Copies of this chain bind each other. A is one copy, B any other.
Amino acid sequence: MAAKSENGTTPGIPMPWNRPQRKREQPSLSRDQIVAEAFALLDANGIEALSMRKLAARLNAGATSLYTHVANKEELLALVVDQIFGTLPLPEAEGSEEPKVWRAKVMECAESMRAAITRHPWMVGVIGDVGMIYLGPNWMRLCEAQLAVMETAGFEFSEANEAMNAVVGYTIGTACVEASWLASLARSGQDEQEWMNRLLPTVIEATKDFPRLHRLYTTEVSSEVEAGRDNSFTRGVNVILDGIEATMNARRGR
């Protein structure tokens, strides 16, 4: 009773000199720190390396402490994803009147978006868990900028929206397929070329009944896979841009 308040020899009683003495030594935890560390963890070891406990350990914090800054894991992931989109360069609308200019701007935007997804392949596993990604501020900023480009290029509002959806849809779809490949590649821990060499025989065997795919895999993919993917993507976007431009010209013509 008196022992407790006065000398405190009872083990576990906090005394001034051995007290942890951290007077909230840092802000200690902030949403930005958490997001940043989660990002690092994801980039380092993929999606299954991110658990609330591991993340908290990295931050020298208790697992459940995170929940004062982040509602739940889903929200955390949404924040991380939107932060990625925040690193992409925003296209500027000015000077987009000429076809070559806006095409280049849209192309660059698509390429950087694809690069972001393939550089962080774990994103593919995240967009499924997280609804509402496309309502994040950075994502919206990106969309707004791209719409602005299309509008100053001379598109009507709904045309611009359609065009953007086409490009963005293609970009996300392609990049997701690529990223799911890259993610399973990262898990295997092997070089892309080497992993390809190991996998190719199986694929060729599997495509035995499909002559066109067989030809595709035996001839096309054989060398420099990465550059091949880059070129393929660029051509795909160009095809879409052709379609978009044709649409606008048709409207002007009539």
Contacts and interface: CB of A to CB of B under 8 A. Distances in A.
B124 A127 contact: yes
A118 interface: no
A143 B129 CA distance: 27
A177 to B, nearest CB: 6
A242 B236 contact: no
A243 B128 CA distance: 30
Contacts of A126: 128
A232 to B, nearest CB: 6
Interface string A142-177: 011001100100000110111101101111111011
A212 B124 contact: no
A243 B181 CA distance: 27
Nearest to A237: B166
Interface stretch (A7-15, A26-34, A49-57, A133-141): A133-141
Tell me the number of copies of this protein.
2
Size band of the interface chain A makes with B: 35 or more
A180 interface: yes
A241 B243 contact: yes
Nearest to A244: B239
Contacts of A163: 239
A228 to B, nearest CB: 11
A104 interface: no
A221 B133 CA distance: 18
A252 B240 CA distance: 19
A220 interface: yes
Contacts of A137: 206
